[in-house]
Chain A
Amino acid sequence: MTTPMVKAEEVYKSFGSLEVLQGINLEVAPGEVTCMIGPSGSGKSTFLRLINHLEKLDAGRLWVDGELVGYREKNHRLYELKDREICAKRSEIAMVFQRFNLFPHLSVLDNVTIGPIKVKRQSANEAKDRAAELLQRVGLSDKIGAYPNQLSGGQQQRVAIARALAMEPKLMLFDEPTSALDPELVGEVLDAMHALADSGMTMVVVTHEMGFAREVGDTVVFMDGGRIVEAGKPRDVLVHPQNERLKNFLSKVL
């Protein structure tokens, strides 16, 4: 049995008195694509942010690749990790945001190389060659010297994917990567993600694109009210939903 890439056990998180996550249990196997769907405010983004420790969880346990997120356990006690250790772990998990979050003051090339050069201490030449290769993979070779605000939303998001890939992550998190895009630009980003999934990348994708979830997802997870209400094969969850809330949700989005 291989260690799961992500494993969540009774994960709780609240902001003040607002209980956003109320006992999440989930396993993502290496190479698998897990799609998370659910209504707004159900805690999908919060869960993704817990995985790379942008937020701290309140209760439960969360592992990435067999290691606890944010803590070290010794003699049944948890010790907070040092800032340096947390950053090192984050560098192995890539995140793609709804609003791209490219660095506007850096060219496309510098956006892609800054992580490898500054965090992974690659040589500038090595990082540049690799960036050129990745940008070609997402179809943006001709935009290498452009600045982010000279690109369309779809192009920006593909640069963000290349930036994420440049870190050679073992896990990629996508938070509604196509929600901020015009309809005609969604396809190019989904295609890039599809190719990524085919290459064997482990992905957790929060999305409202049911077609993508059905085609590419190995597992589809439906969240509502801070809980996972239904999970399983895309066919089962999307085509033959059991839960009333899921049926209701699907009738609205499809």
Chain B
Amino acid sequence: MSTSSESGPNSETHSATKPEIIKAVPVRHPGRWVAGAVLLVLVAMAVHTLVFSQTQIPGQRGSRFGWSVVREYLFSSLVVKGAEITLELTVVSMLAGVLLGVLVAVMRLSKSRMISGVAWFYAWIFRGTPVLVQIYFWFFIAALYPHITLGIPFGPSFVTINLNSVLGAFWAATLALSLNEGAYMSEIVRAGIISVDEGQVEAAQSLGMRRGMALRRIVLPQAMRLILPPTGNETISMLKTSSLASVIAVNELTHVANNISAQNYKTIQLLIVASIWYLAMTTVLSIGQYYVERHFARGATRALPPTPLQRLKRNLRYVRPQNHQAAHP
């Protein structure tokens, strides 16, 4: 029965040519088309009301959302200055929070009950109370301690600091955000440290490394891979949490927007202005996060994931030979 042109599962002849590439009719998904259509209509309605619909206030003209007002304030010096302060609050608080977090995480893992207890207590307090309360607390603490003196405990003092003049609203907010962030970061860093295989520390110790060096050179770089993604989230979240500093009149983005709209009553427009700035800043941070994570993936994955740019180049390279093949079958 068998001829050389037929090749069933039992055929003994192995033809050198590859079998034909499978060309099957794909499964249809009508549900997806319906859902897509519904979404398209909803998006069209949203775009219409956002961009094209006219204001309903009698005697006024222009779009309902007042985009001309948004455009007017988006790059006004007050708003830009506010965005700057938001960024400063975020960066300073995040840096301090990360450093504090590493310190507290290492303290938590200390063999001394005393030290790990203090670290636990710190995290308990600052994670367990609202940031808003903490911001008020540090703002008004100067009322309790107008002067701080440095010296021997219960003995003579050397320096006296006027807390009222040093701890302005900006620094009170920074202190509150840093301490709060430190408590969260300590848990993130601790989880990262614990995730590193014990054999790594043993190998480092066998080389004669001391605990601190093993932590810095061997454990933390490996823990980074686990620490970074949540830290990125924390940074983005900090950018927005910093708006709480407006309650003690720090001139950050939200406070500036509120101040302006208190005068011109363009509340929605200024909220949009602030939101655009927040979105822009979080977008930039997300892109930065991607590249930092990629850097620390070294050694964890065999091949690093391509950057978007590399991916684009590769896709272009794939497109060309395919066309080439199609032309010469």
Which residues of A are interface residues toward B (Cβ below 8 A)? 52, 54, 83-84, 87-95, 97, 99, 101-106, 114-115, 118-120, 147-150, 163-164, 167
Contact = CB atoms under 8 A, between A and B. Distances in A.
Given A83-B210, A87-B209, A101 B202 contact: yes
Nearest to B208: A91
Interface string B194-224: 0001011011111111110100011001100
A95 B298 CA distance: 25
A78 B187 CA distance: 39
B299 A105 contact: yes
A114 B302 contact: no
A104 B202 contact: no
A101 B199 contact: yes
A52 B218 CA distance: 19
15 contacts: A89-B208, A90-B205, A91-B207, A91-B208, A94-B206, A95-B203, A97-B199, A101-B200, A104-B222, A105-B296, A105-B298, A115-B207, A118-B217, A119-B208, A147-B299
A87 B214 CA distance: 11
Nearest 8 CB-CB pairs, A to B? A91-B208, A101-B203, A115-B207, A95-B206, A101-B199, A104-B299, A105-B299, A119-B208
Contacts of B207: 90-91, 114-115, 119, 163, 167
Nearest to B202: A54
A83 B111 CA distance: 14
B299 A54 contact: no
Nearest to B222: A105
Contacts of B299: 104-106, 147-149
A105 B300 contact: yes
B83 to A, nearest CB: 36
Interface string B272-305: 0000000000000000000000001011111000
Nearest to B298: A105
Nearest to A53: B205
A243 B210 CA distance: 43
A224 B100 CA distance: 49
A169 to B, nearest CB: 10
Contacts of A84: 210
A89 B205 CA distance: 11
A151 B299 CA distance: 11
Given A104-B300, A148-B299, A149-B302, A97 B202 contact: yes
Contacts of A163: 207
Contacts of A97: 199, 202-203
Contact of A103 (B210, B218, B301, B302): B218
B203 A150 contact: no
Contacts of A89: 208
Contacts of A92: 208
B208 A99 contact: no
A115 B210 contact: no
Given A104-B222, A148-B299, A90 B208 contact: yes
A104 B206 CA distance: 16
A103 B200 contact: yes
Most chain A CB within a 10 A radius of its CB, from B200, B207, B213: B207
B139 to A, nearest CB: 42
Contacts of B298: 105, 147
Interface in B76-114: none
Contact of A105 (B202, B204, B211, B221): B221
B224 to A, nearest CB: 8
Contacts of A83: 210-211
Contact of B206 (A90, A114, A147): A90
B198 to A, nearest CB: 9
A97 B199 CA distance: 8
A102 B206 CA distance: 12
A63 to B, nearest CB: 19
